[in-house]
Chain A
């Protein structure tokens, strides 16, 4: 303890004697640590933003896409293949509690884009035909009014529930409920509005107009198949089993032998989240590796400074040894100096990195991205750890050289 205090005291004296050189050396570490902290912090935030969007939809969801495709690959529609085999009758079967005990809700979807008009206001919106169960599958919340019923769906009633921003744009301060809007060539009665949900890579929920599935299929699009279906199960752990049951059911309904590939694909969000996380993790650690190069350069700076210090102080070190300093006292002195430099750099670098990460968050928010700055304590613990390790690793060689100085150096007459 006493030796450590002594080393710290001497470190302070030596830094005071070479302020500029010390500052420049610390600067190298500051830049390195700041880069790592920024990359880690911004990377984590970006990852969370992405995952937040996925979670907004829910992790106990299963999606059925028409057309065959690899489970983790792009859907068939991405290749221009329009498959017409998935129908709402398929979904009704899945809703059967006897065959699918874990399914809570199941909804079919079909969507298009149409001009929507209310009096003089008109704009293009996404029109989504959706089963009445859709409000529960999607976790949508009503702001006013109600969602449409199964009876309205079956009867092809022309009713609509509109997203929060679409409601604001079309109606301004007016109450939308009960008002008639024109979608394409027909009039629809607005029966409810939704609370704000935000946007995601899957589309802008707040600018969507929802109508009953069958109404949309027959009145707006003139089709009888689904764009996709979504199913919410009671628990994430039942996803795999339910997926398998769906595959068996759909193959038999579509008259495809069980041994063959289906004309649909069944996916779930939990695995999507995993795939997304692993991709973004690879990106993040790749960037951290790049940023670490700056740290290594900083470490070399420390070694350089310590070797110069050794050269300048070789006579003093020789004297100290001649007066009874042990090799380990001198080595410790050098290690304390190099670790002090790198930890100071680590502290300032973390602070700067933290500031930059916050700044990125402010800029992102001002651009309308739902950015949440994540400052994990572990990043800072790691930054300090790395700084300490750098100080030791790059201080070892100068320390070793210093402890081998001969006391004869003290006698050398200049």
Chain B
């Protein structure tokens, strides 16, 4: 599958990843075996029925949980050796999250929600910090077409708009990779399509995106699909009949 790839093009390289939960003396093998290589700029869907381990797989890749077995190299470094401090920096600087439930702070404005990751940016130094932050917020809002909503409270937005704010928030730190967990799961088809359109545009601009979904039509917007079944990564396939979101097309 992976051929003639330059070492530095590889963002994610995992082998035989496993995750076993122990609850009340009972073992649950959420993920048994998953190996894959993801290069920079790829748009990858992780698919599978519920209970297949697709969410667990994404949690491991995005450092939300630690694997109980296997190896994982992120950006050339051993991810299993990352401590809390490194993880906080990674989450802030190199990773963007998009959640199914949006997870906006409803009492804050759109602008303040997008600003949230920047509040924890302890890494950009110097006098130009706030200027740079302003620029990034403006750019992120523009990318999702919500510049005109900047001063609205998040709670007054529609679902589709909320998810676009969440995308802007994920973008604002200019991350190396964006993780999207069922980003269209809470949206109607039209709004979902709009979200996919934005994600595809981000992908075209060179962002790496990993998206978990159980909908086949949604998954086909990516360039590659990883299919899981019973905790095993079964198939890793290129999307031949890739869908491109336009205003006309309907999801589902």
Contact = CB atoms under 8 A, between A and B. Distances in A.
Contacts of A117: none
Given A322-B64, A323-B117, A324-B121, A413 B89 contact: no
A327 B120 contact: no
B65 interface: yes
B117 A324 contact: yes
Contacts of A6: 119
Contact of B101 (A13, A406, A407, A413): A413
B74 to A, nearest CB: 16
B97 A321 contact: no
B59 interface: yes
B214 interface: no
A148 B142 CA distance: 103
A323 B166 CA distance: 11
B214 to A, nearest CB: 13
B91 interface: yes
B116 A320 contact: yes
Interface in B35-94: 55, 59, 64-65, 84-85, 88-89, 91-93
Given A324-B117, A324-B120, A316 B91 contact: no
Contacts of A329: 120
A408 interface: yes
Range for the number of chain A residues in contact with chain B:
20 to 34
Contacts, number: 59
B154 to A, nearest CB: 12
B91 A410 contact: no
Nearest to A406: B64
Interface in A300-343: 315-316, 319-327, 329
A285 to B, nearest CB: 45
A223 interface: no
A323 B120 contact: yes
Nearest to A325: B120
A332 to B, nearest CB: 12
A413 B88 CA distance: 23
Instruction: Give the interface centre of A315, A316, A408, A410 by most chain B CB atoms within 10 Å.
Output: A410
B161 interface: no
A410 B173 CA distance: 19
A326 B92 CA distance: 10
A411 interface: yes
B92 A324 contact: yes
B103 interface: yes
Nearest to B182: A413
A414 interface: yes
A407 B64 contact: yes
B33 interface: no
Contact of B91 (A17, A315, A327, A407): A407
Given A316-B105, A321-B91, 7 more contacts: A6-B119, A319-B103, A324-B121, A410-B97, A410-B99, A411-B99, A413-B100
18 contacts: A17-B107, A319-B103, A321-B88, A321-B91, A322-B64, A324-B89, A324-B92, A324-B120, A325-B120, A326-B85, A326-B88, A326-B122, A407-B91, A408-B64, A408-B65, A411-B55, A411-B64, A411-B181
